Structure 1
Amino acid sequence: MTAETTHTHPLLQTCERAIKQRTTLNPCGVEDSDIQLDVGWGADGDFLLGCEISMASLAASNSGIRFHFHLFSNDTSQLDQQKLIELARQHELRITLYTLDNDYFAQLPTNRLWSSAIYYRFMMAEVLSLSISKMLYLDADVVCQGDVTELLEVDLQDNVVAVVPERDATWWQHQAEALDCKALEQGYFNSGVMLINLDAWRKEAVLTHILRLVADQSLHAKLTFYDQDLLNLALADKKMFLNSVYNTQYSLNYELNSAKRKQFNPNCIFMHFIGPTKPWHLWGQYPSSQAFQQAKRHSPWKDEPLQLPASTYQYRYCYKHLIYQKKILKGYEYFFRYLLRKLLSRR
């Protein structure tokens, strides 16, 4: 970082201090000039396997693109770097790991479902904006099953992001009223897949705007989707929309409801597994999660075990799904474990 850059971007000093370590894995010696697309993920421990399979799915579906993957996490010690090196070698790509100090995010609102990891994307965009002009951001629960070449040609113009809208105009109206932002009537987006114009991100001082919003205590009660709401407020008039194939959302909990189950549409480029049940969970194994299962099967993590429930909340969904899947004995085993945790008031 040059002295001029530090002076121009004072917030970057804070961001840089929050990065305790950077580790670059580049077994094939990929040069900067070779890279066609930078892609970023941010996650903590519970979502790291999702990130790894998301990476593997994108690389396997796009052998003609040379990638640089960036993973921001406070739990990088949990990563098997040998498997990441194997992925980088298999697909001739570069991977950089950023170990974060979680204290940096302590002042940001969280809840039971959303940890401070949801804010890693803000830091990611701010830090990477120093060295690259465009990046693709993906949530850990996004699986690629198609060609993303067209994203390389998207002209973002002066927009900060290209994104997929969330739901429909009725929902946009609801969010506009809930967040007291009339501009959202023209579109509220899902932040799980974002093509980010990093030059515009820096020019518009988006991180400064977001931190200003976070400092407004009266806003906290209005936030439902936390980081996503903040991004929508900050970028209300600085976005363009992509086709929904780039962020097709589906909750594996819909499997428990026949009417909602009909919403599944496998014909997309990015399948986004929203909701608390993820395809790397023991109880989330359905035909609808096949994209994840296939990517895992052909990745260095093919033998990695699926995650078991770790909280009372997860035990609840675990037993419901297993019973629905007619794994009766195992389902009732987890049902009694769930009741025991409830009685002992464990989270």
Structure 2
Amino acid sequence: MTDNLRFPAEWEPQSAILIAWPHAGTDWAERLGEVEETYIALVAAITRFQPVWICVADDDLETYAEARLRSNRIDMDRVRFVPFDYDDTWLRDSGPITLRQGEGFRVLDFRFTAWGGKFEAGRDDRLVESLGEQGVFGAAPRQRIDFALEGGGIETDGAGTLLTTWHCLHERHPQTSREELDAKLRGWLAQDRVLWLDHGYLEGDDTDAHIDTLARFAPDDAIVFQACDDPADSHYAALQAMATQIAGLRTADGRPYRLFPLPWAAPVLDGERRLAASYANFLIVNGAVLMPAYGDPADDLAAAVLAQAFPGREIVQVPCRPLIWQNGSLHCITMQLPQGLSG
């Protein structure tokens, strides 16, 4: 790991959570009312523990979002609005990746291509630059990196180990070998090593197997992962293979990880299309873990697993069934800012 650079784990202290408010010009238009309710619930949950910064496309949207939040008795002292005209609201992937640099920070601005050019992303690719110009990151320098990488595609333990999936990185950079990708990620993200998962996917996921839908680090050398215990389910073989590979991973000092398999929700369908209802897409905030809930009996079982993996943190369920209609969930629409970063 680079001497004065470190990629902090998500469970380390945070200044704020960054999100973008949905509106009719985004892909949420068809179900905007339902999605707004999820965003209101999310903001209510975050502001119990820390501030939330909300990107808004224009003054009218800010006025509207503020009115919706006030009517739901949100603590507006913990809400800040930031103007930016975005393509969509998946800030985990278009937002900043922050490294600690000595006593300060370095904000990494990777190229955002909307998951390999699947959608328009010209405005979203300018998000980090715009936030920096508005002083959101204080005096932290922004480093633009001409390489497609999304925040949902990487997971760190804060101590020099990165977890990712080969499928996602290979899809973005098909001409680059695993060894070359490994070296690039270690260099840019100040990591000692990269652990690659070769198995695991979710139907309805258009990110090409982002790690944050499959497996996540937890404190004290633990991995929380999405399991599947239904042999009749189409995901069974791939997620069993992923579980086997995770069980074979070792910590930096050679010990097995403590493993926390998450339960499997019943299929959620949109017509004939299966939606990606993953419990691994949780968000860690100061003092709590916010987890996606899908209105399934497995919601409470997932909460119990997360309580074991994150002792001492409150587990808060946020209704996320509307989000998976657009192939993402709770973690995908958020990005944490480490404590001390925000301006």
TM-score tier after normalising by the smaller chain length: 0.3 to 0.5
Instruction: Work out which structure has the larger RCO, using CA pairs closer than 8 Å and 6 or more positions apart in sequence.
Output: 2
TM-score normalized by the length of structure 2: 0.34
Q: Return the structure number with greater helix share.
A: 1
TM-score normalized by the length of structure 1: 0.34
